[in-house]
Amino acid sequence: MSIQGFVRVAAACPVIRVVDCKFNSEQTLVLIQDACKREVNIAVFPELGLTGYTCGDLFQHRMLRESAREALLWLVKEARNIYPGLCIVGVPIELNGCIFNCAAVFQSGEILGLVPKTFLPNYHEFQEARYFSTPDALQQNHIILGGKSIPFGTDLLFEATDVEGLIFGVELCEDLWVPIPPSSYQAIAGATILFNLSASNEVLGKVEYRKQLVANQSARCIAGYVYSSSGYGESSTDIVFGGHGLIAEIGTILAESTRFQRESQLTIADLDLDHILHDRTHIKTFHQNQEASLRRSFRRIPITVVSTHARQRLPLARSVIAHPFVPSEFTHLNIACKEIFQTQTMAMAKRLEHVGTSSVSIGVSGGLDSTLALIAICKSFDMLSRCRSGIRAFSMPGFGTSLRTMNNAARLMRSLNVSITEIDIRRLAFDQMKAIDHFPFGINIDKLDFESFVTELNRLPTHSRHDLVFENIQARIRTNLLMNTGFVIGTGDMSELALGWCTYNADQMSMYNPNANIPKTLVKFLVKWIAESDCHGLDRDTLLDIVATEISPELLPLTNGVQPQSTEATIGPYELHDFFLYHFLRWGATPDKILFLARHAKFDKDYSLEEIKKWLIVFITRFFANQFKRSCMPDGPKVGSVGLSPRGDWRMPSDAHAQAWLDRLDQFPSV
């Protein structure tokens, strides 16, 4: 079986000599040996790699074709004892008086199939129709080669018997450049990985277009796409080949070779079959193409892929991003951040225009979430050419509010020129606790006035400062006050909703929430980005101090003026929870795979594997237990690839059990 759904592939580009088939097969074998050492499962080589692509009219000479056939048989034999994986090499094949530009697929000393090129370019520098025939000229679907009957045709798919979902198809160069490439039909028929043997020469601007073709075809086909093009050694009479290797998965380039190298190269990546299979089951329009008469009949060739060397691989031959919600490429940083703000701003502006309100209310705590939401609503008012005085910002300190967050909230609101109101909610909370006969921390409040109660709170030992009702009363008072003042802007983020780290009908509720589908790690990143790049008149030091403040609900009483509550100490680090959330929602990853990926994301540098597993259990347990809070979450714009809206991305019964997911973790104690 495969390791957590990963299949290691390679785009190989050996140095060649034009028409020197012996030399070319030997150089190919060297890269096959390298592929074996690096645990590659399937390696693809360039188009006509055993002869060279630029042989010209020499392709019409029988001597070259016989030499190529002998080189192929020699290579298949020699690779048998040194490489258990699959190879795909380019070779000219003659059959019934026609010459075909072919891909030969072989493994363990056997040629499994020959796939001819479908579309022959015959324009500009390409004159393939001069030498080769199209598959239309095929009169039979097999060929005798090396004394064996071998499947021959464009209708071949290679299906693994030992890896669920691994089926691959092959096309050659120009096949990718046509309106409907053969790989499109292969994917519809079930191929999850597509290989392309190419000889694409280099001209100015072509490299980016080529990358777009590969990435886009992998996206349209919801597949992995492995592309290998000719390199050093091809004739430079009129054109030059750079040796471009590309590996893509569902629209993302995972690996790319360095072009214009004078030595052989092996470009490697691990393709995630789980990603591909998840999206194919999730995106129903992919299968509608079959109903549109695009289905073709394919012969399935059985293969084995990883049974001989299935072991844990460290590291993965692909990057696993520790913070998948956070923009990582510096060149795209500003674009991504501005896109998020524009999404929030446009959504808020539309909603305000629709409901016809000229003012909004928002609670500002001095924390990350309310900071981002307040800045977003200010931008919406600016877009609508409305005065920011219509933004009613409320500071509502309670029993756990620290001086640091109070001051930061005040400075933030002043710098944004919004209307500011401060309401101390402590006395209101005290009155409500009296009304419902709740004795917080065992204090008999019936016999105390407010001032005496505050004195008693200050005497509490640290270990006894736990009372959920005490916390929820404060949270609901704040929301109730806001609701009574007008149209309420929510501030809670997607991570809190995922974990249920919010009070039902309190910070969980609003009339619109621009942060609803933004996870905590991205909220923190955005606030920091504003501080460091575009403050818009805001106090940079205040924003940076908000970023540096420990995340806390600030609901329990302070201990000597210090906040005893730490959200991450209670429920776990948000960077881990956001990592879990992304892979759980976006890819439907199993718990054991999430642990595996977390290890490769280098989290084990800061957390032990036991800690990561502990917090993953917390995530799973809380996620399943708190769907009822998400089922009635307010409207809010989707800004990324995943969301939790019950009207959009995520529909889940509130009574779903997490046991199967927790049991899966118990089955994999060592990761």
Known catalytic residues?
A: 47, 117, 173
Tokens of 516: 């609803």
Query: What is the distance of C-alpha 420 from the center of its chain?
Result: 41
Give the rounded distance of the alpha carbon of 500 from its chain centre. 24
Closest CA to 374 of 396, 345, 401: 345
Give the burial class of 249: count Cβ atoms within 10 A of its Cβ; 0-12 exposed, 13-18 middle, 19 or more buried: buried
Q: Which long-range contacts (CB under 8 A, 24 or more apart) does 430-436 make?
A: 432/473, 432/477, 433/469, 433/470, 433/473
CA angle 228, 229, 235 (to 5 degrees): 150
Q: How far is CA 354 from the centre of its chain?
A: 34
Q: In angstroms, rounded to a whole number, what is the distance separating the alpha carbons of residues 567 and 554?
A: 9
Q: What is the DSSP string of 348-367?
A: HHHHHHHHT-S-EEEE--SS
Q: Take residue 473 and report the two structure tokens written for it.
A: 């009363």
Residue of 322, 219, 210, 315 lying closest to 268 (CA atoms) = 315
CA distance 644 to 585: 9
The token duo for 153 is 């045709």
C-alpha angle 452-458-460 in degrees, rounded to nearest 5: 110
Nearest to 537 by CA among 363, 413, 361: 413
